[in-house]
Amino acid sequence: MGPAAGTAHLDVQGLTVAFGPILAVKNVSLTVREGETLAVFGANGSGKTTFLKGIAGLLPLAGGRVVYRGEDLSKLPAHERAARGIRYVSDRSRVAVRMTVRENLDAGAWLLHPSRREAARDRVLSLFPVLGEKAGEPAGVLSGGERQMLILGRALIGEPALLLMDEPFLGLSREVRDRFVAVIERTLKGRATILMSEHDAETAFRLLDRHVIFRNGVVVHEGTRGESGDARSLLALLYRHFRPGEDDSPRDERRLRDVSRNREGK
């Protein structure tokens, strides 16, 4: 089923997350359809990670509800949300360095029936052949890019229905990034619902159906792929929202310049 034909999969209602007196996400509501890919943009500290973690159950809600397939998950712990097919992955996710690559992958397959695990593992290893070559080695020997492949592979092996990806392309070489995009297109696009926090507008544009822009914990812009037109227009839109101001950090402007340079093929 194509994304446009999908039904409401995730209904976030007035989500609020606080760190002590700081409201990091304030009363955010949005609906994501089944099979849709939503990119979440925003300057550093605008609340993207907090928003995704609130949905995953990794941070407690100060207000609002997370309704998934019609069920209110707001009071459920993260592992029970995971049992319903929700996965959060981040470049800050850890791999178990002393366990083998294969064992790390298997850790993501706990929800699959044991008879299906081997085939699922083989499928993921075929998506990332370099992991296949190192399947019996400790994950500690992997490079940074390979570790990110393992983190994504560990999520994919469990066949997630809702994947929350926090900056999935951060720090990846162009080659690994392209591989990630291809894997996501091949295995997830239109099948799983994806929320993807990202700074790299060009790469995100290859995958997104819709986007939102966060600023200071609220959504300040929502748009569809068609409304953006192309990656360049989306980048221009982000520049307008991220333009220097008291709430923007220099790091973020640098990142956007990097995106621009990548786009020019440098």
Binding site for ligand ATP (CB under 6 A): 19, 22, 24, 42, 44-50
Closest approach of Cβ 10 to ligand ATP, in Å? 18
Closest approach of Cβ 116 to ligand ATP, in Å? 34
Closest approach of Cβ 214 to ligand ATP, in Å? 6
| Closest CB to ligand ATP among residues 48, 121 | 48
| Closest CB to ligand ATP among residues 121, 199 | 199
Closest approach of Cβ 242 to ligand ATP, in Å? 11
| Closest CB to ligand ATP among residues 46, 148 | 46
| Closest CB to ligand ATP among residues 24, 139 | 24
Closest approach of Cβ 124 to ligand ATP, in Å? 26
| Closest CB to ligand ATP among residues 53, 81 | 53
Q: What residues have CB less than 8 Å from 139, skipping those under 6 apart?
A: 95, 96, 97, 98, 99, 100, 101, 104, 147, 150
